[in-house]
Amino acid sequence: MKAAYRKALITGASAGLGEEYARQLAAAGVDLILVARRKDRLEDLARGLSQKYPVSVEIFPADLSRDHELSALAEKIRQTEDLDLLINNAGFGGKSKFYKDENGESEQMVRVHVLAPVILTRAALPAMIRRGRGAVINVSSVAAFSPFSGAMYSSTKAFLAMFSVNLQNELHGKGIKVQALCPGLTHTEFHQVAGMNKETIPGFLWMRADRVVRISLRALGRNKVIVIPGCRNRIISFLMRCPWTFSLVQWLSRRSWVRKMAAMK
């Protein structure tokens, strides 16, 4: 891939799609700022990328659910004048139903999935607009269109999708590209952390992280806002929103065996 950007900041960069974005962008010659909670994993990733590719890799350990750490990262972005690609990838899957949440998981998800992308994007845009070029990728999910994926997870991912669409409209003519990446089931550690049993889901529904990221970066060059990787995921997303199948989908979403397959506890 030819480098279209000079410097990228990636949240949630220590694993999964974030790590894959880092690898593919480094291979294309893009300098990186890697953000995640786990400093040790960031250091290992940065060291490996710096040794393999002629790029600058900086780490910024931060927990985006904490206000002061989020504010510090936003200030870092404002001070990085040459940042021209922001990837809001940090996120996690809920482990309990909304009405059973007694540990503040729902509020934490709003902070990480909604508040953090809003604050970081607003911090990055002024310099991009001054230059007349730049891009923001918000990692959403096919769960944005799903009644199966939990009240908070689906809702926050739906926000990212609509935020991206409307922000792109606001920025029309300013040279800024905005994308909402909406992947389906992807082979990363995300599902193990969320307590999801991958063995209950047919293998053909899964995609590799490298393919998902490759599709995202290629689509960014084609100015697509909502990007759903994979034909199966596009069909599933269509069926979940189609008026002809909507009632059936809603009926299925209330069946306990279906929700169990979707890791809904």
Q: What amino acid positions are annotated as catalytic residues? A: 153
Q: In angstroms, what is the C-alpha Rg of the chain?
A: 18
* Burial of residue 61, with CB atoms counted within 10 A of its CB: 0-12 exposed, 13-18 middle, 19 or more buried: middle
What distances in angstroms separate CA 175 from CA 5, 92, 169, 172, one per listed residue? 13, 31, 12, 7
The one-character DSSP state at 98 is G
Coarse DSSP helix, strand, coil percentages of the chain, rounded to the nearest 5 percent? 55, 15, 30
| 86 vs 66: CA distance, rounded Å | 20
Angle at 65 between CA 59 and CA 69, to 5 degrees: 45
Q: How far is 48 from 60, CA to CA, in rounded Å?
A: 16
